[in-house]
Amino acid sequence: MRFSTREVVDLGAAWLALGVAFALFLDRGLAFGLLWGDLAVARAVEPLLVSMFTVGVGFLLHELAHKVVAVRFGQLAEFRADYGMLALAIGAGLAGFLFAAPGAVYHGGRPITKRQVGLIALAGPATNVVLAGVFAPLLVLPSLGTVGQLGVTINLILAGFNMIPFGPLDGRKVLGWSTVIFAVSFVICAGLAVLALLFVGTGF
């Protein structure tokens, strides 16, 4: 698995920007402090670290899963950040809206089948579901409850959202491969996302 210098920079920038955007969205006190110029650095450290460790890691491993599967199928694959969208995500978080379109893994090379395209796409949401399971045990630890709540909820939302069969989202590629696999995957991912929102929450 190889990463170009540009890809590493793009992944790092997207990880940081999403961490900032979600920290501002989830912690309105942080956003208001920044807007009014009354924000102590120490006040921002915890929500930023929690956001980067949960949202950021969820995004990072989602994209790396696409890359790993694409490379396994003989494709050249690299992540490219969309810096305009990253700036918009931070602005939206500051304004109290949730928006994230950080970029994508682009792959190409020899022709591949619809099944392979579908599996590359499905790898991202599947990784988020697995990550939600990794964060779930933290829910019972008082000192890490917020991390567990946000890790579970955000990863399941990422999985459910990305399975929507629209535009560049993963669901459209999975649907293009198999209606049955798309239907099962969508029901699982969307259903888990709804359950997480209803019964787990974010902890903020």
Catalytically active residues are 63
Tell me if 3 sits within 8 A of 74, measured CB to CB.
no
Tell me if 173 sits within 8 A of 117, measured CB to CB.
yes
Q: Which H or E run includes 103?
A: strand 103-109
User: Up-side HSE of residue 108: CA atoms within 13 Å toward CB?
Assistant: 1
Angstrom distance (rounded) from CA 152 to CA 150: 6
β-sheet bridge partners, residue 108: 76
